[in-house]
Structure 1
Amino acid sequence: MMADYSYNQVTPELIEAFKKIVPGKVFTGDEINADYSHDEMPIYGKGAPTVLVEATTTEDIAAIVKLCYENSIPVIPRGAGTGLTGAAVALHGGVMIDMSKMNKILEYDKENFVVRVEAGVLLNDLAEDAQKQGLLYPPDPGEKFATLGGNVSTNAGGMRAVKYGCTRDYVRAMTVVLPTGEIVKLGATVSKTSTGYSLLNLMIGSEGTLGIITELTLKLIPAPKETISLIIPYENLEDCIATVPKFFMEHLQPQAIEFMEKEIVLASERYLGKSVFPQKLEGVDIGAYLLVTFDGDDMESLEEITEKAAEVVLEAGAIDVLVADTPAKKKDAWAARSSFLEAIEAETKLLDECDVVVPVNQIAPYLTFVKSLEEKYDFTIKSFGHAGDGNLHIYACANDMDEAEFKKQVADFMDIIYKKAAECGGLISGEHGIGYGKMDYLAAFAGETSMRLMKGIKEVFDPKMILNPGKVCYSL
């Protein structure tokens, strides 16, 4: 059994102490917007913080956290609130630290190909700024307006992970405020280390439960000079997914390979008010699509690659290959892909999701199994995801169900598909994390020994359990 941790209430005296540390940046009661009580998946619970603090410096955060530690007050770090597992929700009240105002790109070190940023910088802002420098930050999650601190806290890799790797591969160093209020610097501007346990990598993916990331040093690469995208329609999802391993077998090295079912594409196009993906070709109703991007230094070599890719996919059952080779076409195609979640949310009253990851050769049989379950439930199932790395986004959607019944049915559904993912050699989450909503599934998947080790790590970093309590591995 875990120890019984109890918290104190935030007193007026503490609020005044906070105000002295960050004048004009402390909010209480009705001053706190209701959006701070939930993330993008409210079904995992809501909880309003007692106090909201807009942080602007590492030292201010450290001072606030130190007071909270001394007084046993919960602290919840929050970025843009775009998470999908309830990780940045104040389930036990306390003090929420809003990192979004720490949004400065501090400096580029072009000789070492790194950039130093505050944790509240948005992914989109770094992407655009780096491009102006002729550089690329490869991690590319679908939510472009998440903070980089949030991305690192969940190790959200996104669409380009198939070629360039995950967020973890691009974090060189960070500044962290520990639950005690101590400030530590982890990592360095180097590409190799055998210097003790990797506390840097432990912090990546810890979802704000071990420390508050305030500053990051991130690896960059020279930006490819050209990109080209292919929209590849198929009659059915099975043929679509079965094509994916052939890209690698033919050494084609795509930057991104996304799969999507027809229903979710139509929802996205309704949401955007623009039709991009064909619904019928050569008399065949299209059931699924691949969206594939290649990058390189010149268009001539890219055209050779796309010609080879077209041969491969047509031989594997694709109905056609549509080339998006102009900025407008590429923008429209990827705008449709990037709007999937927003499109689902716009048309759905009750929503739950998972982002399992399975080996690439297991994607087709796994998704076939998941779709076969739909007849058992009163909700519909929609899926899309990163076909190149096996990270699948599966949504349970309903409009006419009682919420309690929806939750009951979804819990049964999720239990089945998580177990199936494990049987396929996969994992619970590829990038969304565990947060609050997926804790029971993690415990069942990881087993007693692994959970004991994770809880032990949490206890070492946070002996009073004040930092983002009740998330990931430690129930309260």
Structure 2
Amino acid sequence: MKEYNKVSPELIEKFKSIVPGKVYAGEEINTDYTHDEMPIYGKGMPDVVIEATNTEDISEIVKLCYDENIPVIPRGAGTGLAGAAVAIEGGVMIDMTKMNKILGYDEKNFVVHVEPGVLLNDLAEDALSRGLMYPPDPGERYATIGGNIATNAGGMRAVKYGTTRDYVRSLKMVLPTGEITEFGATVSKTSSGYSLLNLIVGSEGTLGIITEATLKVITAPKETISLIIPYENLDECIATVPQFFMNHLQPQALEFMEREIVLASERYIGKSVFPQELEGITIGAYLLVTFDGDSMEELEEIIERAAEVVLEAGAIDVLIADTPNKKKEAWAARGAFLEAIEAETELLDECDVVVPISEIASYLVYVNEVAERFDFAVKSFGHAGDGNLHIYTCSNDMEMDEFKKQVAEFFEDIYEKAIQLGGQISGEHGIGHGKMGFLKKYSGETNMRLMKGIKEVFDPKMILNPHKIVD
């Protein structure tokens, strides 16, 4: 394992001269900086936390760290789920959340310029106030844009509009050497050499520190409407999903959820939103679907067609959330799934595999069968429209070591199955520190060699976010 140096008192004073009042060390560091939203993937106390203010300051800080062989960890809101923003080797953590300005819109070219610490929710609302939409919609709306770019976050609207990668036009970066550069441009197409921009998107802070982003926006749809579609069982629920596309329906979002996770969410938010029983039938699973368009007349026609499709495929009913309050309640329940699980669970781990949508039903049947061999509970939900599934392992009575051992065996099995079906081990949460072993196994030696080579070109001393994605 590579050896790094510790941050000396002299180096701390140099940092303070660059960003006075924004450097924290020792007991001044809040323990929240030691982990992300999935602490099971490790904790680490940075030697120093520095609140970033601008590109030039970050460049100076990183140059000093490069010269002194000090690890540097960029961090946004800390909402990640793979241990990516954790100081495994100590070092300098750069908090990007204070760089949170929306720098301006170029409405003629449909782009917005932002700093990386802007919250997704703030950008979404600001764009909407101008009649525009920034389509990426990961479940955690209080994550930073920089973090979304670093993980190529997908979310609920990816089925229609794509992932974060599809909206990044250009990035200003500080490289691990301290050099400042830019990748990409405002233009919508390019064939100008290797796509360095696309290497950065999804690189989880291992290749450079994003200090400014130019993002594509689109005209906001005038109307949206959501459907809650209950089923007796998960198999029929998931089997319906391909029918939306075969019948030329284009949902903005298409989510599936099992009964248990819905009940947990409703306990958490203190409100009953989804029906538990209809026509004497106990509901076992649900689809939550949103359509958007330019008029309610257009949407009413789409809903009528969608209702015919899902009822023929086995849905018990189609419930329309056609008022702002009903839509808000339905999606608030969906958005609270992770918080609901965390509130009721002592030990927690998760995977976010992605499989072809035609394989979702058979894959989930397999997952549930495998889960019966283990002592933890499994709760599943996810983005049915693009095959990205969130599978949580939960326990309140196992010992930590035994839980980790069983979860590792469980993930090994279900990752193997996902790969066999043509899938990947992560659809949007990334690899971070927690999934490195699985990436190495399922990517193969050739691909890992290429990824490590890319890392070495960008980061010759391996100081930037070490022990993430590749070693």
TM-score band, normalised by the shorter chain? over 0.9
1:230-249 matches, within 5 Å, as 230-249=227-246
CA distance in 2: counterparts of 1:463 and 1:146, whole angstroms: 30
CA distance in 1: counterparts of 2:368 and 2:154, whole angstroms: 25
Partner of 1:71: 68
Partner of 2:188: 191
Tell me if 1:293 matches 2:290. yes
Tell me if 1:46 matches 2:43. yes
CA distance in 2: counterparts of 1:263 and 1:332, whole angstroms: 18
CA distance in 1: counterparts of 2:220 and 2:439, whole angstroms: 37
Residues 127, 137 of structure 1: 8 Å contact kept: yes
Tell me if 1:324 matches 2:321. yes
Partner of 2:446: 449
Q: CA RMSD in A?
A: 0.5
Residues 371, 410 of structure 2: 8 Å contact kept: no
2:84 alignment partner, one of 83, 87, 98: 87
Deviations 1:149-206 (A, max 9, x none): 0000000011101001111000000101000000001100011101110000000000
Partner of 1:337: 334
CA distance in 2: counterparts of 1:358 and 1:56, whole angstroms: 40
Deviations 1:282-338 (A, max 9, x none): 000000000000000000110110011000000000000000000000000000000
CA distance in 2: counterparts of 1:365 and 1:26, whole angstroms: 52
Partner of 2:300: 303
Partner of 1:8: 5
**What is the identity, as a one-letter code, of the residue corresponding to 1:426?**
G
Tell me if 1:152 matches 2:149. yes
**What is the identity, as a one-letter code, of the residue corresponding to 1:355?**
D
1:5: Cα distance to partner?
Answer: 2.1
Residues 27, 51 of structure 1: 8 Å contact kept: yes
1:414 alignment partner, one of 408, 411, 416: 411
CA distance in 2: counterparts of 1:176 and 1:153, whole angstroms: 12
Partner of 2:386: 389
1:374: Cα distance to partner?
Answer: 2.0
1:10: Cα distance to partner?
Answer: 0.5
CA distance in 1: counterparts of 2:365 and 2:292, whole angstroms: 31
CA distance in 1: counterparts of 2:371 and 2:7, whole angstroms: 47
CA distance in 2: counterparts of 1:145 and 1:453, whole angstroms: 34
CA distance in 1: counterparts of 2:269 and 2:168, whole angstroms: 34
**What is the identity, as a one-letter code, of the residue corresponding to 1:132?**
S
Q: Kindly tell me the number of residue pairs found equivalent between the two proteins.
A: 471
1:69: Cα distance to partner?
Answer: 0.2
| Secondary structure of residue in 1 paired with 2:99 | coil
1:80: Cα distance to partner?
Answer: 0.1
Tell me if 1:436 matches 2:433. yes
**What is the identity, as a one-letter code, of the residue corresponding to 1:390?**
G
| Secondary structure of residue in 1 paired with 2:434 | coil
1:239: Cα distance to partner?
Answer: 0.2
Residues 229, 330 of structure 1: 8 Å contact kept: yes
Residues 5, 464 of structure 1: 8 Å contact kept: no
State the percentage of identical aligned residues. 76
CA distance in 2: counterparts of 1:425 and 1:101, whole angstroms: 41
Deviations 1:335-376 (A, max 9, x none): 000000000000000000000000000000000000011221
1:9: Cα distance to partner?
Answer: 1.0
Tell me if 1:214 matches 2:228. no
CA distance in 1: counterparts of 2:6 and 2:132, whole angstroms: 47
| Secondary structure of residue in 1 paired with 2:372 | helix
Q: TM-score, normalised by structure 2?
A: 1.00
CA distance in 1: counterparts of 2:242 and 2:2, whole angstroms: 49
Partner of 1:352: 349
The runs of at least 4 aligned residues of structure 1 exceeding 3 Å deviation read none
Deviations 1:89-112 (A, max 9, x none): 000000000000000000000000
**What is the identity, as a one-letter code, of the residue corresponding to 2:127?**
A
Residues 172, 212 of structure 2: 8 Å contact kept: yes
CA distance in 1: counterparts of 2:457 and 2:182, whole angstroms: 17
Partner of 2:310: 313
**What is the identity, as a one-letter code, of the residue corresponding to 1:56?**
T
2:117 alignment partner, one of 106, 120, 125: 120
**What is the identity, as a one-letter code, of the residue corresponding to 1:248?**
F
1:125-204 matches, within 5 Å, as 125-204=122-201
2:468 alignment partner, one of 460, 468, 471: 471
Deviations 1:254-306 (A, max 9, x none): 00000000000000000000000000000000000000000000001101100
1:248-263 matches, within 5 Å, as 248-263=245-260
Residues 99, 117 of structure 2: 8 Å contact kept: yes
- Structure 2, unaligned runs of 5 or more: none
